[in-house]
Amino acid sequence: MPESSTFQPDCRRCPRLAQYLDEVKIAYPDYYARPVPPFGATPARLLVVGLAPGIHGANRTGRPFTGDFAGILLYQTLHKFGLASHSESIAHSDGLILSNCRITNAVKCLPPANKPDTSEIRQCNHYLKNELIQFVEQGGKAILALGGVAHRAIVMALRVKSTIFPFGHGAVHQLDNDLWLYDSYHCSRYNTQTKRLTAEMFEQVFMRIDEDLG
């Protein structure tokens, strides 16, 4: 695997994102405001893939889904299913440990308005591809896509057709004999407050993953 495919904490390949991070860092000097690395166990049997860092969450703390609303339901659910040492993810230094689970994002940098461009998703996809390769090589079995953008980034990285594996909440896709892709609506503030995604709906996805992994 070329070195360029390995996560780069100082990557500035996307001019729009790099400029935006610079602006955010000026406005919030104490924020992490860099590409956010994956977090969790290696090896792991479950890889959770989100969209991108949130401005006052992962972009602030330097850890996926940490410090803002989007991580509340995710870490509560991970804890309930024995995948996280406790139910809150507040800061990088809070001692939280994931077991048999790893979390990453399709896009590593904070995008303006939480909306990365297609070109930025493609540019960052080689990092995700490398993470997926390592995940599978280390015995990983289940990938959970949080939202349609993450789903499409995963199938892009794995070079399978999205028309064959379309996104849908609760959908389960067998990618090969040993690798499965599970879909859920993103656990964002908007989705949870509008009840597009409820805690029960989210837990049902994890129940299916738990049953399939045994």
Residue type, 24: V
pLDDT at position 3, please? Answer: 40
Asked if residue 22 is part of any domain, the answer here is yes
Q: Which of 20, 4, 5 is nearest to 132 (CA)?
A: 5
What is the three-class DSSP state of 117?
coil
In degrees rounded to 5, what are phi and psi of residue 22?
-60, -40
Asked if residue 87 is part of any domain, the answer here is yes
pLDDT tens by residue, 160-180: 887 899 999 999 999 987 899
pLDDT tens by residue, 112-136: 999 999 999 999 999 999 999 999 9
pLDDT tens by residue, 8-66: 999 999 999 999 999 999 999 999 999 999 999 999 999 999 999 999 999 999 999 99
Asked if residue 2 is part of any domain, the answer here is no
pLDDT tens by residue, 70-111: 999 999 999 999 999 999 999 999 999 999 999 999 999 999
Asked if residue 4 is part of any domain, the answer here is no
Asked if residue 6 is part of any domain, the answer here is no
* Count of structural domains within the chain: 1
Domain membership of residue 36 as a residue range: 11-213
Residue type, 179: L
Strand order in the sheet with 101-105: 39-40, 101-105, 46-50, 142-146, 180-184, 172-174
Secondary structure of the chain: what % helix, strand, coil (to 5)?
40, 15, 50
Asked if residue 3 is part of any domain, the answer here is no
CB 70 within 8 A of CB 48: no
How many angstroms separate the CA atoms of 142 and 131, rounded? 13
How many angstroms separate the CA atoms of 42 and 25, rounded? 30
Instruction: Read off the pLDDT band of 2 (50, 70, 90).
Output: very low
Which helix (H) or strand (E) segment is 211 a member of?
Answer: helix 199-213
Output the domain CATH number for residue 153. Answer: 3.40.470.10
How many angstroms separate the CA atoms of 44 and 142, rounded? 9
